[in-house]
Structure 1
């Protein structure tokens, strides 16, 4: 039975000190713990503990280092979220454009085009909920003008309202016989339908972490994206291996690969370099960043 009681911020600070964490007056620990929960910050000081059963800290562990990790992670998520936004808007545009031209405005309701009917039912249910909540005047005006049409609004209206996760599932669920599924993949340099769905699934998961302010630094990520054996666009020479996929680096590489199509003159490399320089105490290997990552062909572009 769980028996721990809530403790005051003063008691939280004293507990951390008793376990060996160095907290100085200038660290403003009381202020930070008033705005960032003890439990949330614990995800960052966990790696500083030499005895994780007794929660005892390694020598010279400081609260300032904890806050540096927290702030690094926050800024990293803001950078990644900005990159994913660009990829998401582009993917939405291409998916709507290419499949609508091949199979009409309501292709996303055509069960004959999809492999998994149950998955499509769930996606459409989520979409219906999103449309019902939408305050977008385009959606409201469509329903007002077309009261007798029981279908969803056409794809270029409906799919602007759906989440990136639902969008990636919709794309992945398309049958391989849908030519535009390959067309979208080729547009992004992903060759064919075999690879892109796993990339999008990976990116959608990371987007959720960013949106819900979950830790990305030193996180073991789920999923195993399929990598192209011979990418047509600039890629890395030191290709991440399967056991490295739990680290963020391979997922950052996929984002960069797509972003180089979406925004060829992007500054992702420079901004990531600046972030690493700003927080020199952050171990790049906790993200899976390899030595010389920024001079790889992919990142030099």
Structure 2
């Protein structure tokens, strides 16, 4: 039976010091712990412990380094969230445009163009929830239903899908039948050649987007899912074979940010993602890039060159 009582901030600090964590500015540490929970920070000091069961820290473990890791991770999430936003908007635009022309403006409601009917039903139910929420908040959706009271359908794709999450957009795309021309066309526009590769990229990015949106740790995290890599990408990629992530490394962030960069380069060729990421590592020199799976001299690869 769990029997521990809640600790005061002062007790938290004493416990950390007793376990070997160096805290040189106690008053500042109190301010951090008053605004960032003990267990949230614990995700960053866990690797500093040499005895994980007794929670004993390695020699020279410092509270200021914990905060540096925390701040690095927060800034990394903001950086990636901005990149993912551009990918999400581009995907939404391409889906709306190509499928509305190839099928009709209500293609996203058509189970006939889906591979998995059960997944289609689940995704459509979530889309309905998103549109229902928007009906009371979004002016475009509200006005559509007011103007077209007798039309019981969803608003057309160019209105409805603006309300749909990246996760559901990626599911819509991945579940399209391979005979739908737009599926390969969208993949080609993103530099993914055909429908074989892009769905796994979008799914992994959607998961990372959720981590960013919910302020969850990305540093030193094992990411769920996997991705399929092109053997011969048509656009700038990684030249050094040793720097191409292997399958056992797909749980680390590096391969996923490489794919984000690859997609972003098709959307905004003169982006500054590489510079921003490099500057972030320079700002926090104590952060170990290996915790993200970063490769040596990653910024020298064609993918990351400006």
> With structure 2 as the length reference, what TM-score do the two structures score?
0.97
Q: Does 1:271 align with 2:256?
A: no
Q: Which residue of 2 aligns with 1:253?
A: 258
Q: Distance in 2 between matches of 1:64 and 1:300?
A: 33
Q: 2:192 aligns with which of 167, 190, 193?
A: 190
Q: Distance in 2 between matches of 1:193 and 1:48?
A: 43
Q: Distance in 2 between matches of 1:217 and 1:247?
A: 9
1:147-162 alignment to 2 at 5 Å?
147-162=149-164
Q: 1:241 aligns with which of 246, 262, 287?
A: 246
Q: Distance in 1 between matches of 2:98 and 2:203?
A: 20
SS of 2:188 mapped into structure 1 = helix
Q: Which residue of 2 aligns with 1:96?
A: 96
Q: Which residue of 2 aligns with 1:170?
A: 172
Gaps of 5+ in 2: none
1:1-301 alignment to 2 at 5 Å?
1-25=1-25, 28-134=28-134, 135-237=137-239, 238-301=243-306
Q: Is the 8 A contact 1:27 1:64 kept in 2?
A: no
Q: Is the 8 A contact 1:20 1:57 kept in 2?
A: yes
SS of 1:50 mapped into structure 2 = strand
Q: How many residues are paired up?
A: 301
Q: Is the 8 A contact 1:27 1:63 kept in 2?
A: no
Q: Is the 8 A contact 1:21 1:62 kept in 2?
A: yes
Gaps of 5+ in 1: none
Q: Distance in 1 between matches of 2:79 and 2:120?
A: 32
Q: Bigger CA drift: 159-168 or 3-12? A: 3-12
Note the C-alpha offset of 1:27.
6.7
> With structure 1 as the length reference, what TM-score do the two structures score?
0.99
SS of 1:297 mapped into structure 2 = coil
CA RMSD of aligned residues (A): 0.8
Q: Distance in 2 between matches of 1:128 and 1:49?
A: 47
Q: Distance in 1 between matches of 2:278 and 2:27?
A: 26
